[in-house]
């Protein structure tokens, strides 16, 4: 009985990956990027945490920090944080308006006499 001999082409060695036994030295004194990044339509500011390998990501709505995260936020995280912040700020504005209306004195009722 004959055996099949298939000739499979050899894959070239990949040069864009690192090997399993690669050592990378981490320099804690090296500068890390602090420039803001754009996630979809949202600006996310980054701040390296002192004495740590982590970076703090701050989701911004204008000039206010809406939420913070240690991991890089995705589009859904940013949208949810901004919607939550806007909902809370709208609710606080309504509460302030109601409190201000309760403090106001009622107007005197003018009754005209019929002659």
How far is the CA of 85 from the CAs of 64, 78, 82, in angstroms? 10, 11, 5
User: In whole angstroms, how far apart are CA 96 and each of 82, 91, 101, 106?
Assistant: 21, 9, 9, 18
Give bridge partners of residue 45 from the DSSP assignment: 58
Query: For position 1, what pLDDT does the model report?
Result: 64
Cα–Cα distance for residue pair 71/54, rounded to 1 Å = 8
Mean predicted lDDT score pLDDT of the chain: 85
Are the C-beta atoms of 103 and 95 separated by less than 8 Å?
no
Global model pTM greater than 0.75: no
pLDDT of residue 68 exceeding 80: yes
61 — pLDDT class (breaks 50, 70, 90): very high
Ranges of each domain in the chain: 37-102
């Amino acid at each position: 009985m004959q055996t099949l001999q298939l000739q499979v082409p050899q894959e070239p060695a990949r040069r864009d990956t690192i090997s399993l036994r690669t050592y990378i030295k981490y320099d804690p004194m090296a500068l890390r990027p602090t420039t803001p990044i754009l996630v979809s339509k949202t600006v996310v500011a980054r701040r390296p945490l002192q004495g740590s390998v982590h970076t703090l990501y701050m989701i911004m709505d204008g000039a206010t920090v809406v939420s913070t995260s240690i991991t890089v936020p995705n589009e859904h995280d940013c949208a949810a944080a901004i919607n939550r912040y806007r909902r809370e700020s709208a609710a606080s504005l309504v509460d302030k308006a109601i409190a201000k209306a309760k403090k106001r004195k009622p107007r005197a009722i003018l009754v005209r006499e019929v002659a």
